[in-house]
Amino acid sequence: MTYRAPIDDFRFIFHHVADLHCATATDRFADATPDVIDAILTEAGKLCEDKLAPLQRVGDQHPARLENGKVRTTPGFAEAYQAIAEGGWVSIGASPDFGGMGLPMAVTTAVNEMMSGACLSLQLNPLMTQGQIEALEHHASDAIKDIYLPKLVTGEWCGTMNLTEPQAGSDVGALSTKAVPNGDGSYAITGQKIYISWGDNDFSANVCHLVLARLPDGKPGTKGISLFLVPKLIPDADGNPGVANTLKVVGLEHKLGLHGSPTCVMQYEGAQGWLIGHEHDGMAAMFTMMNNARLGVGSQGIGVAEAATQHALAYAADRKQGRTPVGDGAGTIMDHADVRRMLLTMKAETFAARSIALACAVAIDLGTATGEAECKARAALLTPIAKAFGTDTGIKVADIGVQVHGGMGVIEETGAAQFSRDVRVTAIYEGTNGIQAMDLVGRKMMDGGEGAFRLLDEIEAHAETARSALPAMAEKVWQASESLREAVEWLVAQSDMTARFAGSVPFLRAFARVLGGHYHLKAALAEGNEGPRVKLARFYINRLLPDHSALLVQAMAGADDLYAMSATELCA
């Protein structure tokens, strides 16, 4: 099975669903003309199909390994990474001031998705560097920017993010890594970090770590944390990699999937680092990196969903089993009703998740270009939905893909199971999907739901527009939006945050369901003439959108039933 970059889908969504033209009409992104974007997508697609996709199975079968303290990467990864770096794909959204292309986040998101679908293990590397570039652009001193950004932008150096410790996972404030001033403007960093994606490699000239640590006068909790840039090799006076820093990889995690991506245990022993941002304000700087990374991780899930769908379609179009209800009854399993249901679900869910992610990216671009608070609020609202629904979709679609393959789905040689294993962690890293949901009903609803209501107003206005051409679908989307509006009203009326959190995951999923219906309806209205997108939209709206009703019942159930059983009873 050969991966095909879904370029036509990106073009369609940009033009008819996510409204990228609103961002490219601004001065900030005026150079991102349709011709430029089309050329970028086409070349990125070729890279993914020709260079990355052939390494998908190789990374699984020949994992990264640690030899004598050095990470040895999967055969072929070094050459493929070089192609990524030389093509400028690490930094298509980075500032031109340091050599980046300065293209919209929407384009970066599309390219990241394609790379994820082709070879997720390798794509994790440039995603981490992109986040570090973003953090340094916003928070680093000019001296740090001048040394590090040009190297990171070209891909000559790679970046990582170091948050987690054995005792401090989602509770970042529990970290124990220490930072002590050296007296020369630098700091000595001591501690251990775990789960560090691409903590080292054997193909870049340097690896630069963003590390959360606590200064001697740092308060307990997140408010006392600072952020430091700690390079593997300390740059000399000319900015070239110099002496080795006192840090090392002490182990690689043995994981369910993503075997080609080295997930490192990092040990810092008085390693020299430099402060990024202000003392005790490290979380603000780190969240600059994490917020865009959350969208990127959502796109990873969507990329795997696309690849798993293509894989399942190819198998179903070839596999014959039993008499089919189509034609002379000698068709493939694609003609069986339940297999057809699974394949349509895979396609419909992937389109919905992709549209949500790209709409989020366009909102980020509009916020960047205009500085308008409403655009930034829209981006903030959509980010946890894009991350959680994108990764949930990847997991669901990959799992359905295994089912489509039947018994062959659990045979590793078919490659179907790898998608399921690789994508599973995306619902966990960069903030678990439960944390995304809590963020949505908590921080993102501190405006009393105004941002959500504005989005629902747009959904209902579009449904009204669609009534003349697609009355049945338009009515169902409108009604679903009204149900969601009532849930938002209930939610913001709850002063007990535990009541909100208890239903946060189903609420987020219901919100995503309604957004998916909206974007499918937009696609159907734009295409018309009973084309494939109209038929796919009808499937989604008739069969998947109704999920929102049951999800909203759960969302508004409160927390009493969760705590009715004692911990002792629960464990009995």
pTM confidence score: 0.97
374 domain residue, yes or no: no
Residue 572: other Cβ atoms inside 10 A? 7
Catalytic residues: 430
CATH of the domain at 223: 2.40.110.20
Give the dihedral sign, CA 488/489/492/496.
Answer: negative
Tell me the β-bridge partners of 157. 206
Alpha helical stretches, state H, 140-259: 142-154
Indicate if 132 and 240 belong to the same structural domain: no
184 domain residue, yes or no: yes
Q: How far apart are CA 141 and CA 516, in angstroms?
A: 42
Which of 281, 301, 319 is the C-terminal boundary of a domain?
281
Instruction: Please write the tens of the pLDDT for every residue from 385-443.
Output: 999 999 999 999 999 999 999 999 999 999 999 999 999 999 999 999 999 999 999 99
**pLDDT recorded at residue 330:** 86
Indicate if 122 and 172 belong to the same structural domain: no
Q: How far apart are CA 50 and CA 22, in angstroms?
A: 33
Indicate if 262 and 228 belong to the same structural domain: yes
DSSP code string of 276-297: ESSTT-HHHHHHHHHHHHHHHH
- Residue 48's alpha-carbon distances to 5, 12, 202, 254, 272, in angstroms, are 7, 20, 21, 27, 37
Instruction: Please write the tens of the pLDDT for every residue from 338-369.
Output: 999 999 999 999 999 999 999 999 999 999 99
Instruction: Please write the tens of the pLDDT for every residue from 275-296.
Output: 999 999 998 888 777 778 899 9
Phi then psi for 447, rounded to 5 degrees? -85, 15
Which of 100, 117, 152 is the C-terminal boundary of a domain?
152
Instruction: Please write the tens of the pLDDT for every residue from 226-268.
Output: 999 999 999 998 899 999 999 999 999 999 999 999 999 999 9
258 domain residue, yes or no: yes
423 domain residue, yes or no: no
Angle at 165 between CA 380 and CA 255, to 5 degrees: 85
Summarize the chain as % helix, strand, coil (round to 5): 60, 15, 25
Residue 247: other Cβ atoms inside 10 A? 26
| Whether 533 contacts 409, CB under 8 Å | no
Output the six-digit token pair for 271: 């390693």
Pairing label, strands 178-181, 187-197: antiparallel
Instruction: Please write the tens of the pLDDT for every residue from 195-228.
Output: 999 999 999 999 999 999 999 999 998 889 999 9
408 domain residue, yes or no: no
Per the structure, the count of domains in the chain is 3
Q: How far apart are CA 106 and CA 360, in angstroms?
A: 8
End-to-end C-alpha distance for the chain, whole angstroms: 48
Give the dihedral sign, CA 188/153/130/419.
Answer: negative
What lies within 8 Å, CB to CB, of 488 at 6+ separation is 445, 449, 452, 453, 456
Place of tokens 């994790």: 124
Report the amino acid identity of residue 322: G
In what helix (H) or strand (E) does residue 353 lie, and over which residues does it extend?
A: helix 337-370
Using a 10 angstrom Cβ sphere, with 0-12 exposed, 13-18 middle and 19 or more buried, the burial of residue 123 is buried
Indicate if 31 and 115 belong to the same structural domain: yes
30 domain residue, yes or no: yes
**pLDDT recorded at residue 1:** 58
Which of 227, 246, 281 is the C-terminal boundary of a domain?
281
Q: How far apart are CA 387 and CA 431, in angstroms?
A: 9
Q: Which of 170-184, 337-351, 365-379 has the lowest mean pLDDT?
A: 170-184
Instruction: Please write the tens of the pLDDT for every residue from 131-167.
Output: 999 999 999 999 999 999 999 999 999 999 999 998 8
CATH of the domain at 91: 1.10.540.10
Residue 166: other Cβ atoms inside 10 A? 11
Angle at 420 between CA 128 and CA 550, to 5 degrees: 100
Indicate if 11 and 137 belong to the same structural domain: yes
Indicate if 59 and 139 belong to the same structural domain: yes
Pairing label, strands 206-214, 157-162: parallel
**pLDDT recorded at residue 169:** 76
Indicate if 274 and 164 belong to the same structural domain: yes
Which structural domain range is residue 542 located in? 433-559
Output the six-digit token pair for 143: 């001296």
Across the range 464-484, mean pLDDT stands at 98
Give the dihedral sign, CA 496/502/508/509.
Answer: negative
Q: Residue 17 carries which DSSP code?
A: T
Q: How far apart are CA 494 and CA 489, in angstroms?
A: 9
Using a 10 angstrom Cβ sphere, with 0-12 exposed, 13-18 middle and 19 or more buried, the burial of residue 571 is exposed
Q: Residue 73 carries which DSSP code?
A: P
481 domain residue, yes or no: yes
411 domain residue, yes or no: no
> Cα 237 to the chain's mean position, in Å?
37
